[in-house]
Amino acid sequence: MKRIATDNIDAALRHLAGFSRTQQASRDSRIFPGYYAPVLVVEDEQYVVKPMRYQCRIAGACELRC
């Protein structure tokens, strides 16, 4: 009998292994809602790379919940 969490643990370990990669993969060019991505911004007239993420909202959702 296989535990339910085994697949979740394996997926999390694969995800963590991606952080130590030094070569770019094709999936690195995609940005998904809720995930962090490097963004180049200007602060004090210098370029700075910051991790940022975005959230998708359904149109008009704020009026329903705010």
65 lies in some domain = yes
pTM exceeds cut of 0.75:
no
- Of 1-5, 21-25, 30-34, give the lowest mean pLDDT range: 1-5
Average pLDDT, the chain: 82
User: What whole-number percentage of the chain has pLDDT above 70?
Assistant: 80
User: What whole-number percentage of the chain has pLDDT above 90?
Assistant: 21
18 lies in some domain = no
Q: How many separate domains does the chain show?
A: 1
Range of the domain at 56: 35-66
Q: What is the model's pLDDT at position 33?
A: 82
Structural tokens at position 26: 């094709």
42 lies in some domain = yes
55 lies in some domain = yes
How far apart CA 18 and CA 29 sit, in angstroms, is: 14
51 lies in some domain = yes
57 lies in some domain = yes
Report the phi/psi class of residue 18: left, alpha or beta, with left for phi > 0 and alpha for psi in -120 to 50. Answer: alpha
Spell out the long-range contacts of 29-36 with Cβ–Cβ below 8 A and sequence spacing 24 or more: none
